[in-house]
Structure 1
């Protein structure tokens, strides 16, 4: 079949929207009509050529409807509403069975895969990969049944789309990775789609203070509706405030870095706000995913008994946590609608990424026609 899709043909280029070929689902796969796709900085990293082979179909955050099942697929049916999971959970590798499905070995299903037989998209006569094995920037995509999660059909699919990556990454960075506790003072650096959900997660976990840092004043202007108790444009200002409200630790108990391009300067500034026995969580990637961006005083970390850790997908188990977050949304206990600043057609995808880079949106969403 044919489908419209946004492709990244070469590093540093704009997205190309064109019609490409799509194979039918094979055993263990499903055909999904993606209705919505989130615009996330991870696809910006793909554009820079640091997430695998190009050309590739973009998009790893999204929601849609199952249209066809491959042989042997169970637990799903045609018509099901689903969230995309950019890390497919096989359910039987060691990571999955020990409760860490965000580290599932199936995550090898990525744009950098060399197994072209696993690719279902074709462009200009050649098979091409989809970002994270999903390709939500295509209206139709064939994906592993392990890479979609059935959700309540009463929940709007645009809310499901943002929950599938950015929300879970930020929420889980606070709840699971940082393990925010009642009474904690938390600093979140970066007020994009991941950062504001780290704020929501920290507030939900019982933090006393949730301090948001972002240089963009427009982002700070809306942060309080997601649970921020204070907002600053610099980490120095945030540290001064954290020391006032948390004199015991002389800094933050938890610091969560959610920047779109996490440089060494960002990591160093974030660490300097961390108090005694504090935890620094890196949830935002560097533009070059192999960049050595952590250069910290190890002996000071020893003296202060501090923890530095990374998190992928917010250390969530997506098959469990996506429904949980969507249930909280349905109960009015967390905000998802307010995250979607603007919707774009697929043809407007380059304008959407321009707005993302300019810091105009919490989350832009492509709505497939």
Structure 2
């Protein structure tokens, strides 16, 4: 599909004088007809429109869908319609801000691996993966802004805002579909480094506790262990034992929201620095140490998957963030006898 410059304000249709005077930063493009290629196929029409109509409010995108102004192959569709290669989509004239106030600033992140199908980055802590829930933009919006020529760029999975480490993005629809299937079938191996607080004993421990997701009265998303929750399984392996902490590798057998954080909290060993499920008094004290810990100590350090094109098994690693490494050094020598 051609680069959609027509949506960025480049059009031969002139706005009426009154509109040009009142909204100098907006234009009214003519209706556009776009033929869907293989890489656009498979996604929902609403998500497709939200991606290509940059600067158009989400509410307006859904309004033109409900009103039938968006047509596919000359027929009306609803917002759940999934595009097929060869579909001809009519996109009606829409008012688009050339420089929307909430436009994400372009940014790149440390690249662990990249080819024509995949982009794997090392996400820093404190950066959301996408906008929403009070966050105006995240990694995906910033990467799209920095790569305006990218025809397709989508998150394969998510990381919590305060979690650092490996984040997979697909550069082709086929890659996204393949990786989603691998995750759904349990073929993907994702491992995290977590610093648990307390006197951890076991070299290897399975935690199988069902997790229930809910929203608090003020709109905050939370997770709790409940019998009616979704089956969840994490395997924890002890890597280093300190007097007050234990460095664990967490292997995800399922991929629930906040799974590692809640599983550790439920066993009495919350993650150091976790502001949702942690020991809040301890977290405050950790921020005042000579070498402070001012973030949650959870890092996605390794992932293994099958390359969506070649089928080759790939294992990628991201080094522990410097601030976490420095904090570990400040704890002194670990007790190696705990690993025997």
TM-score bracket relative to the smaller structure: under 0.3
Relative to its length, the structure with more helix (as a share) is 1
Q: Which one has a bigger Cα radius of gyration?
A: 2
Q: How does the TM-score come out when normalised to structure 1? A: 0.26
Q: Which has the higher contact order (CA 8 A, sep 6+)?
A: 1
Q: How does the TM-score come out when normalised to structure 2? A: 0.28
